[in-house]
Amino acid sequence: MQLLERMLAMSPERRSAVPVVLLVLLALLAGWWLGVRSRTTPALPEPPPMTFEQASTQLRTSSEAFAAVAKIATPSVVNISAATIIPGRRSPLFDDPLFRYFFGDDDIPFRQPERVVRSLGSGVIVSRDGLILTNNHVIAGASRISVTLADGRRFSDVQVVGTDPATDLALLRIRANNLPAIKWGDSRALEVGEWVLAIGNPYGLSQTVTAGIVSAKGRRDVGISVYEDFIQTDAAINPGNSGGALVNIRGELVGINTAILSQSGGNVGIGFAVPSHEARRVMELLLREGRVSRGWLGIIPARVEEGAIQGVVVANLFRNSPADLAGLDIDDIILECNGRRVTSPGELKNMIASMPAGTEVTLLVQRGTERGRVRLRVADHPTDRFGRPVPGI
């Protein structure tokens, strides 16, 4: 109170200087407190710079790890040679009666000769008794198939156990025992950025190993196969790598190398592999049933383009399909499948395809402004006269 009376008794000039003095005192006190605090709280020491020896040790450790993985996995990767015989054909000129009138019916001088088209690829030994996984496009239409192991043994009596063009996978068998079967890994546990190695026979150069990382997972709508859920990697994959192994840092199979995205045909750091969990499922179905059956709703899908709504639009329906019989209609939007959000046609397609025929499915559907749940049983995905799955989900 006395201090306030003294301040009021001051002249106006002296009273105006008081706030300035107080601010200066506060600034001095703050500086003193920060100085004391900095002396009582020691700063964290900076880590010492890495020495050349330490850096060399880390690089040597990484190099040794890659070498160990290659040593484990390469014996399980084989070279596949496929030969397709294209029979000779007579010249189309002999379809012209006037030509036959002048030259007769002897078409031998004009016949196109028989041709043999050869292709090279890779495969992975997945059982000790001779089962080999590869890409379907490596052996599709082949008249003769031969397999060469890493130890140089060659097998010409190769059985095609089954093929699945929809995922571009094929299962072969050779007559051999005690083979170096690769160990299965869990592709679902892969993380983006994780190291992987691609092993195969690019351009016929056997047992080639390249390294890279997982660039992305769940790549769909790439346009390579009907059902796509690819692992993307920047490990170099080139022609001849198809059907080879993509392995993790423990030497476990996490993918079957399938294709590259390139305008030149060479590697540009964008390669794709079928994940091991899908490859294993296809293999088991081919062994058990000789074919791969997939679920089917009977819709032609389209992606939703309406603001915040995410889902799949029913663009069209197959008559008497499960979706049609359950009451779905054109322009309905499928938001969920068995409680899981659906964000794209490719995602819904893979979900339904993984279900065997007869599986009950619950869909959350939006029609206009109303939402409701629809229950139905998926059917077996029908095929066309060429054996290809009909379009749609």
Residue 354 Cα to chain centre, angstroms: 16
Structural element, H or E, at residue 350? helix 345-353
Catalytic residue status for 242 = yes
Whole-angstrom distance, CA of residue 338 vs CA of residue 208:
43
Task: Write the CB contacts of 233 (distance below 8 Å, at least 6 apart in sequence).
Answer: 196, 198, 212, 213, 214, 215, 246, 255, 271, 272, 273
- How many residues does the structure list for the chain? 393
Q: What is the DSSP string of 3-70?
A: HHHHHHHS-HHHHHHHHHHHHHHHHHHHHHHHHHHHHHSPPPPPPPPPPHHHHHHHHHHHHHHHHHHH
Structural element, H or E, at residue 282? helix 276-289
Neighbours of 22 (CB within 10 A): 10
Contact criterion met (CB below 8 Å) for 270 and 234: yes
Q: Which of 225, 242, 276, 321 is catalytic?
A: 242
Residue with the two structure tokens 């997945």: 126
Q: Which of 137, 215, 229, 332 is catalytic?
A: 137
Task: Write the CB contacts of 270 (distance below 8 Å, at least 6 apart in sequence).
Answer: 215, 232, 234, 260, 261, 262
Q: Beta strands of 126-203 (E only): which ranges?
A: 131-134, 144-148, 154-155, 159-164, 169-173, 195-200
- Nearest 10 degrees: CA dihedral of 332, 351, 260, 390? -60
Contact criterion met (CB below 8 Å) for 295 and 357: yes
Q: Which of 119, 122, 168, 225 is catalytic?
A: 168
Q: Is 315 helix (H, G, I), strand (E, B) or coil?
A: strand
What are the beta bridge partners of residue 243?
none
Structural element, H or E, at residue 101? helix 97-103
What are the beta bridge partners of residue 132?
125, 172
Show which residues are catalytic.
137, 168, 242
